[in-house]
Amino acid sequence: MAQDHVHKTHPNIVKRLKRAEGHLRRVIEMFGEDRSCLDLAQQLHAVEKAVGEAKRTLIHDHVDHCLDAAANGNRKSSVTAVDEFKAISKYL
C-alpha cells in the first residue's frame, strides 16, 4: 500500500511538524528549568495538538485525493480503495 507520491498539503504538513519539533525541544528544556507541571502539561498539549492536526490533514488529503481518484475510476479498483480507507482509518 505504500506509494511514493506527494500531495499539495505535504509541504505544509512538514512545516507544521518542524514547528512542533522545535516546540517539543523547548518543552524538554522546560523540564530542566523545573517549570511547573501546569506549564509543562499546557505545552505538551500544544505539541500533541500540532501533531494531531498534521495527521488529520494528511488523512483528509488522502481521502480527498487518493480515494476519490479510485472511486472515479482514475487509479484503483473500489476494493483497493476501500481496503486503503480501512487501513488509514485506524489512525483517526
* CATH at residue 22: 1.20.58.1000
Predicted confidence at residue 25, as pLDDT, reads 96
32 found inside a domain: yes
4 found inside a domain: no
Q: What is the mean pLDDT of each run of 10 residues along the chain (92 residues)?
A: 69 94 96 96 95 92 76 70 81 82
Contacts (Cβ under 8 Å, ≥6 apart) of 85: 63, 67
**Structural domain range at position 19:** 10-89
- Give the residue carrying C-alpha cell 490533514: 57
Measured CA to CA, the distance from residue 89 to residue 67 in angstroms comes to 12
Alpha-carbon distances, residue 56 vs 10, 12, 32, 74 (angstroms): 12, 12, 32, 24
1 found inside a domain: no
pLDDT, averaged across the chain = 85
pTM: 0.74
What is the number of structural domains in the chain?
1
28 found inside a domain: yes
Measured CA to CA, the distance from residue 92 to residue 85 in angstroms comes to 11
30 found inside a domain: yes
